[in-house]
Amino acid sequence: MKYATKFGLASIVALVMFNSCKSQADRKEPSPSAPTPSASQKSAAKAPTATVPDKFAVKLETAKGDIVIDVHKAWAPEGAKRFYTLVKEGFYTDVAFFRVIAGFMAQTGLSGDPARNAEWREKKIPDDPVKKSNTPGMVSFATSGPNSRTTQFFINFGDNSRLDKMGFAPFGKVRDMKPVTALYNGYGEGAPRGMGPSQGRIQKMGNTYLKKQFPKLDYILKATILTP
């Protein structure tokens, strides 16, 4: 995902997702210096009840090629179950890689439909113990604090093992990073720290905002569970 660039603590925790249901388009996003969960954060949602295989693969179709992720429930049970549920429900259709930072990671998982973002914003899942490290190719859900994971996830480009102590629990690994490293990264860090998309505005306006102001972004065209 991104190469040998060094990132300070500020840049690392910047991947914290903008996950508050009360967020405004002009509200400053969580500080990259530390997670800032809301004081009114609700209790974590119960895990999905559907039967989820111990191992399964997900294909993300993109214009840069198919990204296949091998998911292991043993690595992060709650994360794997949530990912399985979202893929089965078609959540990751026409969803942008809105934050792609060379040497760091590629982040996605906000719906292009504001109504779907509103639906899932408070469907948080409990934390998983971190059993695997955020090394190249590993896939983890974004988080804004304890028990706050919802729909956003990221793929590590480089060795981001410093994220392990912050609670980012990998649940899968990309088979071939070539399509991932080809994702457009010209917008860099998101607003307000950078020139990239504002997560708050994505939440509220979806792809109408992204396709007008950030036309070069790459998208997950469709996500499917592969037959074992």
What's the pLDDT tens digit per position in 1-60? Answer: 433 334 444 444 444 443 333 333 333 333 233 333 333 333 334 444 468 999 999 999
Is 39 a member of any domain?
no
d(CA 211, CA 41): 31
**Phi and psi at residue 172, in whole multiples of 5°?**
-160, 175
Is 20 a member of any domain?
no
Kindly report the pTM of this predicted structure: 0.80
Model confidence over 86-126: pLDDT tens digits? 999 999 999 999 999 999 999 999 999 999 999 999 999 99
Is 27 a member of any domain?
no
Output the domain CATH number for residue 205: 2.40.100.10
Is 123 a member of any domain?
yes
Count up the domains in the chain and report the number. Answer: 1
- Look at residue 227 in the predicted model and tell me its pLDDT: 72
Starting at the edge strand found earlier in the chain, the sheet holding 105-108 runs: 99-101, 105-108, 153-156, 138-141, 170-174, 67-72, 55-61, 222-226
Q: Tell me what the mean pLDDT of segment 57-83 comes to.
A: 98
Is 3 a member of any domain?
no
| Closest to 160 in 3D by CA, of 178, 181, 177, 137 | 137
- Look at residue 116 in the predicted model and tell me its pLDDT: 95
Is 205 a member of any domain?
yes
Kindly provide the b/e burial profile for residues 78-112, where b requires at least 16 CB atoms within 10 angstroms of the residue's own CB.
bbbbbbbbbbeeebbbebbbbbbbbbbbbbbbbbb
Residue 64: give the domain boundaries: 9-14+53-226
Q: Which residue shows structure tokens 């955020």?
A: 134
Is 28 a member of any domain?
no
Is 64 a member of any domain?
yes
User: Is the backbone peptide bond immediately before 77 cis, with ω within 30 degrees of 0?
Assistant: no
- Look at residue 228 in the predicted model and tell me its pLDDT: 62
Question: For residues 122 and 216, is the Cβ–Cβ distance under 8 A?
Answer: no
- Look at residue 50 in the predicted model and tell me its pLDDT: 60
d(CA 77, CA 93): 23
